[in-house]
Amino acid sequence: MNSLLIEIGTEELPSGYIVPALNSFCAALGQRLRDLRIECGQAGMYGTPRRLAVMIENVADKQRPAATRITGPPEKVAFDREGRPTVAARKFAEKSGVSVNKLELIDTEKGRYVCVEKTDSGRFTAAVLREILPGLISSIPFPKTMRWGELRVSFARPVHSIVALLGKRAISFEFAGIKSGRHTFGHRFMKPGRIRLDSADHYPEALAEAYVLADMEQRRSVMYESMLQTVKKAGGGILEDPELVETNNNLVEYPAVVLVGFDHKFLELPREILVTAMREHQRYFAVVDEKNRILPYFVSVNNTRARDMRIVAAGHERVLKARLEDAKFFYQTDLKISFEDRVESLKSVIFQAELGSVYDKTMRIKKLAEILCGRLGISGPRLEHARRAALLCKTDLVSHVVDEFPRLQGIMGRVYAKAWGEADEVAYAIEDHYRPSYSGGPLPETTTGAVLAIADKTDTICGCFRAGLVPTGASDPYALRRQGIGIIQITLEKGFDFSLIEIIRAGLEMSGMKKEDLDKKAAGVFEFLKNRIAYLLEDSGIAKDLAAAAISASADSIPDVWSRAEALHKLKSAPDFDSLAVAFKRVVNIIRKADQAEVAGAGVNEKLFAEPAEKKLFESFLQAKQNVSSCLARGRVDEAFSEIAALKPEVDMFFDTVLVMSEDEATRKNRLALLKQISDLFARLADFSRIST
């Protein structure tokens, strides 16, 4: 067995393309080999801005032999009455490449059929690879691809070379006009010549000698250790930024780290501006002291080790100085503009054509925040903080700093609010209301910020639904799914309990929804959010059918549906849960299938009970109803489920001894009324008909 190496040499790839492309290519290549019966071992990935490479160990030289059975026509078609082969049998044998006397008969579910047993001894791996590699390379996914020259193929960047080695043997094929072989290339500036690879196993070492650290883990380790050693000269450490580490690691082939200083006067800028100015455009690392305060230094990771790194440092210093001068000017200019003027400026910023300006959105957020505060019992100074924060929450969008550094929206709102003397709760709520800003991102820390976040996201969702901008398939340009998930996560995190339907209707009314369309559109938004609730429940480990059962009963209160789903999940672990669910589903299904005219409004008349099981079930139901109400009032949802579970013996006895659909109309209606009341009790907790048994 030998190692298989495939390297695709390209022009400079964007840093964010490298790891996803390698993951996909590595998985696809390994799976394809296994599908083609080629045994292989562990796979490794190598990537730099100028190459994507996969190496798979212990690849077999030949496909594994495989026996296959080819089924032909039925026996009665393949042979005549005397047992002689017919034309059909001869044609099948000819097609299968065997003589007629090699045909066998097998018994199947449909009768006896003719078959042929064939053994595929397998092809050599090199021949198989020659056929499959062009297609696998062309199928590597990228966010964007391009074409070059007159070629019809597309790739992330133009391809310059392809290495394909199985052990010491080169695999010959062609992709994008490039013929594969055994030659790669070194560092573009430090050792740019071609490198002949005698064996796939020598790949990492051969590149390292040419100043290319192709192993991403090794390169990251070398880079980071060099950074730590470098910043010791300044008596500080690196400001932790894993994302920036990964970005820089995929921007270089041979990391050359340099420490650069900048003027102390720029330390007067807010920390967020300093760090962002360093990382956003230049990918520099900030340096901090032992108390995590910014020092007047930064670290740059370069792709080339120059003869005099002082010249490199001077160049980086000039670049950052210009950035910081701009940032300082923008910040000082922003501080001269009052919040009142900023709020007024929002009138000239369009949020969405049918939904008006950002100022209009701000006013809607403010009203929704007031409604939420009322439902959550927030009053006094905290209510005033919510109103003030709602009014100011979008003002940083018209600031010069956020225009230059969009990532600082919300953050600069907090900075400006504190600079202008606003209360801390107002300032931090402005920053919080954008959270979570990405999937899995941090949630609002303050209560006021949480209220604003829910109001903002509700307004966006309701407004987009009102304007017909509903997510479809993979298309969700306004990130409504993420915002819906944010509403649910914040509500659960803060323990907020309010009517989801009420807030949806308020949001739609404020967006200008016509009254005649309100009910239908509110149902659509509510269904959209219920789907997000189901997604999060399933993501937390709740079975799909249990989530559906809890949501179907009611989803107006997010904490309530969560506690019911979790209690139902706990109940399902009971050994007799399936029989319990079957019994309860039977109750619900009978009511659904019954003539609703006989069920609607009917009360239970104890005098009409003809069987002891009816009376026993009714008495147990009345006690369970009282106990369930008491449990729910105390927030003991798990105990409420236990109370209704205790009805199972009486329900079973009722169905075993009582004919529900009696010919006597009064008796039938009375029994249906009893089951209807039991079904309604179940419905307070879950729709048992949705549970799989």
Position 598 scores a pLDDT of: 64
557-593 per-position pLDDT tens digit: 999 999 999 988 888 887 777 777 887 888 888 877 7
Percent share of the chain, pLDDT over 70: 99
Position 266 scores a pLDDT of: 95
Name the residue among 258, 299, 308 with its Cα closest to residue 279: 299
Residue 338 tokens, joined: 């009052």
Model confidence at 366, pLDDT cuts 50, 70, 90, reads very high
Residue 200 tokens, joined: 């796939």
181 alpha-carbon distance from chain centroid: 39
What's the CATH architecture for 574-690?
Answer: Orthogonal Bundle (1.10)
**Single-letter code of the amino acid located at 579:** S
Distance CA 604, CA 594 (A): 16
CATH topology of domain 341-539: Hypothetical protein af1432 (1.10.3210)
pLDDT at 15 over 80: yes
**ω before 296 within 30° of 0 (cis)?**
no
Residue 585 tokens, joined: 């589903």
Round the average pLDDT of the chain to a whole number and report it: 91
* 438-449 exposure pattern, b = at least 16 Cβ within 10 A, e = fewer: eeeeebbebbbb
Looking at 524-573, which runs of residues are DSSP E strands? Answer: none
Per-domain boundaries in the chain = 2-62+124-209, 66-120, 217-335, 341-539, 574-690
Distance CA 693, CA 691 (A): 6
Distance set, CA 318 to CA 260, 286, 299, 311, 315 (Å): 10, 16, 14, 11, 5
pLDDT at 274 over 70: yes
Question: Highest-confidence range of 88-97, 477-486, 665-674, by mean pLDDT?
Answer: 477-486
Distance CA 55, CA 46 (A): 8
Q: Which helix (H) or strand (E) holds 460?
A: helix 447-466
pTM of the predicted model as reported, rounded to 2 decimal places: 0.80
Residue 363 tokens, joined: 């006013």
Name the residue among 520, 409, 405 with its Cα closest to residue 456: 409
Residue 190 is classified by DSSP as T
Percent share of the chain, pLDDT over 90: 65
Position 600 scores a pLDDT of: 66
- For residues 219 and 213, the answer to whether their CB atoms sit within 8 Å is yes
Distance CA 404, CA 51 (A): 33
Model confidence at 514, pLDDT cuts 50, 70, 90, reads confident
